[in-house]
Amino acid sequence: MSFASNLMIWYREHGRDLPWRNTQDPYVIWLSEIILQQTRVEQGLPYFHRFLDAFPIVTKFAEADEEEVLRLWQGLGYYSRARNMHKAAKMVISEFAGDFPTRYADVIRLPGVGEYTAAAIASFSVNEPKAVVDGNVYRVLSRYFGISEPINGSKGKKMFAALAQELLDVEHAATYNQAIMDFGALQCKPKKPLCGTCTFQLDCVALKEDIVDNLPVKLKGKASRDRYFHYFIIRKDDSILMSKRGTSDVWANLYEFPMIETERDVDMEELRALNDFATYFPPNAPLLELGKVAKHILSHQNIYAKFYILDDADALRLKKSGWNYHLLEKIDTLAKHKLIFSFLEKNKQLINPKI
């Protein structure tokens, strides 16, 4: 029995029933695949329904503006996915006459679609024989064949891509690709894999050599860095001052409160002494520090955020470009990052005492 056949037999009995598996529409598959990049199925599922509801066909997606797309994406992370999706939708209109492409060579041209996603769309929609290589595939193959080459080095990437393509059942590309990913997610899990009930017990090199827990091998990246953000809540009548972030840092194009960043943790006295502070506020600006420090962990940054209320909006010296007052009742229409909207959730009455 071949690896592929054994895998598909397992899949027929244990595979998950997921909404995007009941279609061959490349647009719907694309939607699901972008959402699921580095994102667990349970986390992405509500967003899949939300987007399909808002944009049933790619034309509607292309007609939307970026603000609306980002607002729908709010809270999911890796926001470049949303911006790239929007560009891709427009590209489907301009370069494919609104007909969503299915061939690997075509879909990989779309922004936000790399080798994995192109293989997924091409195989799921028209059974093009392209093997997917995602985190599940790296894990399953490294264990089954006992390969200790790091999966994130250039040599390893090529090795696993070639091996995956060799193993693919070219007559059943869609089913095979779904099968190996479900097998990785449900049976050959990262931690505590279910080797005791595994259909590959007799063939798995890692199990035979008792090195399952050591595979796959992955090179470590840089340690995360600490950042200190000081947010200023500045209200004027029924409005609040919001700042739109730039494009070269985390949370690109999303809204937050006006903010000063410092290299280390500083108290309010040190904050007042900064040049940045003097630019925007008078030295004696009435500030009220709120609650405790909010620690927000990203995969590569630890952000420590403090929030201050500026009691007198008229004390603001300079309104930086990108800082604008927004009506409190319209605040929900702005796409904000997680740190800000969790703060807003917890401090509703503080921000808007009328509620």
Partner DNA sequence: AACCCGGGGTT
Partner DNA sequence: AACCCAGGGTT
Active site residues: 33
CA distances from 270 to 14, 266, 275, 320 (A): 59, 6, 10, 22
> What is the closest distance, in whole angstroms, from the C-beta atom of residue 287 to DNA in the complex?
25
Query: Positive or negative, the Cα torsion across 321, 327, 329, 330?
Result: negative
State which residue, 181 or 271, has the beta carbon closest to DNA: 181
Closest to 242 (Cα-Cα) out of 334, 164, 131, 307: 334
CA distances from 242 to 73, 254, 255, 256, 288 (A): 19, 10, 6, 6, 18
State which residue, 202 or 219, has the beta carbon closest to DNA: 219
Interacting residue ranges for DNA, rule: CB under 7 A: 16, 18, 20-21, 32-33, 36-43, 75-80, 84, 111-118, 134-136, 138-139, 153-155, 178, 181-182, 184-185, 190-192, 216, 218-222, 248-252, 296-301, 337-339
State which residue, 251 or 280, has the beta carbon closest to DNA: 251
> What is the closest distance, in whole angstroms, from the C-beta atom of residue 84 to DNA in the complex?
6
State which residue, 218 or 319, has the beta carbon closest to DNA: 218
State which residue, 17 or 65, has the beta carbon closest to DNA: 17
> What is the closest distance, in whole angstroms, from the C-beta atom of residue 215 to DNA in the complex?
9
> What is the closest distance, in whole angstroms, from the C-beta atom of residue 200 to DNA in the complex?
17
> What is the closest distance, in whole angstroms, from the C-beta atom of residue 3 to DNA in the complex?
17
